Amino acid sequence: MADLILEVNDVVKVYGDYTALNKVNISIPKGSIYGLLGPNGAGKTTLMRIINQITAPDSGSVIFNGEKLQGKHISMIGYLPEERGLYKKMKVGEQALYLAQLKGMTYSEALSKLRYWFKRFKIIEWWPKKVEELSKGMAQKIQFIVTILHEPKLLIFDEPFSGFDPINASIIRDEIVNLRDKGTTIIFSTHRMESVEEICDHIALINNAETILEGSIENIKNKFDNKQFEVTINEENLLESQEYTIVNQVHNVFNLTINDNFTQKDVIKSINEKHEIILLKKHTPSIEEIFIKAIGNE
């Protein structure tokens, strides 16, 4: 098994009559981008708050870097919640320095790193502005910088692209990947399934307070393999056979499902006996399709 930075074991959290988490289990490999998925109210935010020690589980355990999660680990975790908040009357630079020092950085260290990131994001002119002068997207950039500045081992982003236009969302996405490539582990919660598909290595799907799917993207896609293929042939009269079922047809392009007890090789052989295959392409289910199917089966 891969070296893990975080293990959540049978975590339960109950608020009165409401069960927010019911024996949730996740295992997050070091140096990965881990997608935490689920519909609204599934329990994702509660889990993130437990990892950040904002609240505690009623039962179960959280292991961080081989140790039971405890107060000393707070400085090793960066958290960007969905509901962000900056002091509106305070100047951007002063506030960023203040928040960086709360994370244990010295003034000079914080100043040096903030200058680097402000130049990298081409926002150095924002330094003397008040937060209330910034757009939502501009303020989001400041909070992203402050969250990653102290270079924590684990970063938790809750809807990190909220408030960004496509260009700035792409910039933030690239920075998240760069952080992963430098060894940081990232928990990434979003409703944007295309972003999950692009950058996540592993995912967990939580629904009704329980973990219903967990693992690498590759393994989960293999689990939901629907054995569908798109085949393009030299004519429009492909007939069904014992090896495959035709799902639909557009001119000379056919979507097929391989029947039980047969393989792709069997399908190719069967079609080749009567037709010329121009193109054969496997249909791999998207994370969005898997999400919908898994939730629908609950």
Per-residue pLDDT tens over the stretch 98-150:
999 988 899 999 999 999 999 999 999 999 999 899 888 888 899 999 999 99
Q: Evaluate if residue 1 carries a pLDDT over 50.
A: no
Please tell me the pTM assigned to this model.
0.84
The alpha carbon torsion through 271, 274, 280, 284 (nearest 10 deg) reads: -30
**Residue 194 to residue 171: CA distance in whole angstroms:** 15
Q: Which two tokens stand for residue 76?
A: 């090793």
Average pLDDT over residues 172-190: 93
What integer pLDDT is reported at residue 7 of this predicted model?
97
DSSP notation for 65-108:
TTEE--GGGGGGEEEE-SS----TTSBHHHHHHHHHHHTT--HH
In this structure, are strands 154-158 and 185-189 parallel, antiparallel, or unpaired? parallel
**Residue 33 to residue 199: CA distance in whole angstroms:** 7
Domains in the chain, CATH or no CATH each: 4-222 (3.40.50.300), 226-296 (3.30.70)
- As beta bridge partners, residue 78 has 155
CA angle 97, 136, 91 (to 5 degrees): 30
CB atoms within 10 A of CB 165: 11
